[in-house]
Amino acid sequence: MNLLLTFRIAIRALGRNKMRSSLTMLGIIIGVSAVIANLAIGQGASAQIQSQIANLGNNMLFVQSGSMNTGGMRGGAGSSNTLIPEDADAIALECPSVRAVSPGVRANGQLVFGNMNWVASSSIQGTNEKFPDIKAWPIASGEFFTEGDVRTSARVCVIGKTIADNLFAGSDPVGLTMRIRNLPFRVIGVLGTKGQSAYGQDQDDTVIVPYTTAQRKMLSQTHINQIMVSAISPAATFTAEKQITELLRQRHKLGANQENDFFVRNLTDVAEAADQSSKIFINLLASIASVSLLVGGIGIMNIMLVSVTERTREIGIRMAIGARSAAIRRQFLIESVTLSVVGGVLGILLGVGASITISKTLNWPTLISPVSIFASVIFSVLVGVAFGYYPARKAAGLDPIEALRYE
């Protein structure tokens, strides 16, 4: 008695009870689709956080100047002028957990090219040549400015994609001259697309100039607004944070009972916490969904047990005309596995459909991973076997004489 025939017998038996079969499947359908949809939502959220982490740069920390504190007025972070370029140099030299450092100067203002101008939220950033490395932000065309440009306060700039698109309207900006705050700058490179930041800002709407140029030629200031730091590894961001704090307290001659006049922000830290919590969230969703899958499995077992009792006479007939116990057991096992697998496949379709609908209507990012689909199929088979085995064994163990006499 081969498997294909047993399969046909099982399918025929299921087909004879379409209503009951489909209701039984519904449990599995709902379970599997819940798992798929929840994983898709969770993984979508996780993937978004991951990409934001990648956006943050290479194990990045920010040092910002502290708040101004004059006569009861406290400004926000960065409102005082406590950081100077030498602080950045010192961090690069003396903190072993630090890989690269760049001073940062912020400005804003109008950008003009020909008869076009652009102001919007454009941020003008002054950095040194290590910016692309620290931010993990490669150049799309042209090149970034060099250490020499920084030393000589050269009037060169690198622009983000948004500005390249809007101000230069399609033509290649590299080599052209634009005006920043009314000063002519030569565009030497265009940055690759970075997209939105975690806070929804367009990161490509930016102009990068040597920080020395920003200090001397635009803002006439000697201090800097922030220091961008890249630690040697994600784990090293914590030690780097400590080393930087110690070093700056020492350099700023702060006594033991004085507050820091700067802030160190460890972005990796925050992002990783967010990622962790999203993973916990996924696991929670998936485990709740698995419970419904378990309930679906119990539903299958319940129906199969009812079915065995109800079909006792059928089992007796089959045994009388020569079905071996194994054939009966296989028939019922295949019936339950078929219920669970067909339910699983329909559940996958429903789950994928639900994920797509959710991402379209609610604008949530969803990610349907092949692993979750594969796992659902495997799990469905397991549910079918696990919950079908007992009823199948019960059917196979019936005594043909008593089964035939069963009313």
Partner 1 sequence: MGAQVVTETSYATDPLLGPALITLDHVHKTYQMGDVEIHALRGASLHIDRGEFIAIMGASGSGKSTTMNILGCLDKPTRGSYFLDGQDVSKLTRDELADIRNRKIGFVFQGFNLLSRTSALENVELPMLYLGVKTSERLERAKEALEIVGLGDRINNMPNQLSGGQQQRVAIARSLVNRPSIILADEPTGNLDSRTAVEVMDVFQRLNQERGITIALVTHEPDIAQYARRIIVFKDGRIKNDYMIKEPRSAREELESLPPLVEDEEDDE
Of the two residues 215 and 307, which places its CB atom closer to partner 1 in the complex? Answer: 307
Q: Exposed, middle or buried: residue 319 (CB in 10 Å: 0-12, 13-18, 19+)?
A: buried
Cβ burial 267-297 (10 Å sphere, 16+ → b, else e) = bbeebeebbeebeeebeebbeebbebbeebb
Q: Does 313 bind partner 1 (CB under 8 A)?
A: yes
Site string for partner 1, 10-49 (x = CB under 8 A): --x---x---------------------------------
Binding-site size for partner 1 (CB under 8 A) equals 24
Closest separation between CB of residue 324 and partner 1, Å?
4
Closest separation between CB of residue 20 and partner 1, Å?
12
Q: In angstroms, what CA-CA distances link 103 with 13, 83, 178, 288, 392?
A: 76, 9, 24, 48, 73
Closest separation between CB of residue 278 and partner 1, Å?
51
Closest separation between CB of residue 53 and partner 1, Å?
59
Q: Which of 314, 368, 383, 388 binds partner 1 (CB under 8 A)?
A: 314
Closest separation between CB of residue 305 and partner 1, Å?
20
Of the two residues 8 and 242, which places its CB atom closer to partner 1 in the complex? Answer: 8
Task: Considering only the stretches 73-81, 86-94, 320-328, 370-378, report the one whose residues sit in contact with partner 1 under the rule CB under 8 A.
Answer: 320-328
Task: Considering only the stretches 3-11, 20-28, 72-80, 336-344, report the one whose residues sit in contact with partner 1 under the rule CB under 8 A.
Answer: 3-11
Q: Does 324 bind partner 1 (CB under 8 A)?
A: yes
Closest separation between CB of residue 358 and partner 1, Å?
41
Q: Does 3 bind partner 1 (CB under 8 A)?
A: no
Closest separation between CB of residue 400 and partner 1, Å?
5
The C-alpha torsion from 236 through 241 and 244 to 246, rounded to 10°, is -120
Structure tokens at 22: 């489909």
Packing angle, helices 267-310 and 370-396, rounded to 10: 20
Closest separation between CB of residue 3 and partner 1, Å?
12
Q: Which of 19, 73, 256, 321 binds partner 1 (CB under 8 A)?
A: 321
CA Rg, the chain, in Å?
33
Q: Which residues pair with 186 in a beta bridge?
A: 156, 177
Q: Which of 323, 334, 368, 392 binds partner 1 (CB under 8 A)?
A: 323
Rounded CA-CA distance 132/39 in Å is: 35
Closest separation between CB of residue 339 and partner 1, Å?
18
Q: Does 310 bind partner 1 (CB under 8 A)?
A: no
Rounded CA-CA distance 68/81 in Å is: 8
Q: Which residues pair with 112 in a beta bridge?
A: 117, 179
> SS3 of 85, please?
helix
* H or E element in which residue 65 lies: strand 60-65
Q: From its phi and psi, is residue 192 left (phi > 0), alpha (psi between -120 and 50) or beta? A: beta
Task: Considering only the stretches 213-221, 276-284, 321-329, 352-360, report the one whose residues sit in contact with partner 1 under the rule CB under 8 A.
Answer: 321-329
Give the torsion sign (CA, 138, 142, 146, 149).
negative
Q: Does 306 bind partner 1 (CB under 8 A)?
A: no
Rounded CA-CA distance 124/183 in Å is: 13
Site string for partner 1, 125-144 (x = CB under 8 A): --------------------
The answer to whether the CB of 244 falls within 8 A of the CB of 229 is yes
Q: Does 330 bind partner 1 (CB under 8 A)?
A: no
CA angle 296, 300, 302 (to 5 degrees): 110
Q: Which of 5, 183, 273, 284 binds partner 1 (CB under 8 A)?
A: 5
Of the two residues 9 and 95, which places its CB atom closer to partner 1 in the complex? Answer: 9
Q: Does 242 bind partner 1 (CB under 8 A)?
A: no
Q: Does 335 bind partner 1 (CB under 8 A)?
A: no
Of the two residues 246 and 310, which places its CB atom closer to partner 1 in the complex? Answer: 310
Rounded CA-CA distance 10/342 in Å is: 13
Rounded CA-CA distance 292/403 in Å is: 35
- Of residues 384-403, which lie at the interface with partner 1 (CB under 8 A)? 400-401
Rule CB under 8 A: which residues touch partner 1?
1-2, 5, 8-9, 12, 16, 313-314, 316-327, 400-401, 404
